[in-house]
Amino acid sequence: MSDIFSDLQSNQYLWIVILTFVPALELRASIPYGILVAELPWFVVVPVAVVSNIVLGPIIYLLLNQFLHILLRIRIVNRFWDHMILKTQKKVHPLVEKYGVLGLSVFIGIPLPGSGVYSGAVGGYLLGFTKREFYISTVLGVLIAATAVTIIVMTGSGALGLFVKNV
């Protein structure tokens, strides 16, 4: 058991993947960890985090799809879905048509709490995005987030003040 833990500790790239897979952290935490804590080269850390985050998108979307199909077998959940979610989808359809993939990409890409692949998967699913549209949004959004986070990390902690209030 201790061998497994020591291997985990020594493999900083595995920690980058693990942090990327944690909801609310994703590459917003794994890139700073890899560059600042593990002191790995940014040009290796960023692709590891980006690929991990892109792979996460389809996994979450498919699991969400399966989970909701099971939940919709429950009569009260199905009635709520039909009444609230489908009604909302019809209302927001013009916005989805107007901003679509780009809008979801920007939402996924904003490196702030509450955005990211997990919440983007839920939003994309509830708004009726196809798998293909969601995958494209994921790739674009992850690239936006990775670029923003890498710039913040590489330019120093002063830039972090834009997103974190000192107390």
pLDDT at 167 (0 to 100): 46
Q: State the DSSP code for 105.
A: H
pLDDT 10s digits, 62-116: 898 888 889 888 898 888 877 777 776 666 566 677 888 998 898 888 887 778 8
Give CA–CA dist 60/116, Å, rounded.
12
The residue ranges of every structural domain in the chain are: 2-160
Q: Where are the beta strands (DSSP E) in the chain?
A: none
| 1 exposure class (CB count in 10 Å sphere: 0-12, 13-18, 19+) | exposed
Q: Is the pLDDT of residue 159 over 90?
A: no
Cβ pair 71, 104 in contact under 8 A: no
pLDDT at 72 (0 to 100): 85
> Can you tell me the mean pLDDT for 132-155?
94
pLDDT at 93 (0 to 100): 65
**Count of CB atoms within 10 A of residue 89's CB?**
13
pLDDT at 164 (0 to 100): 52
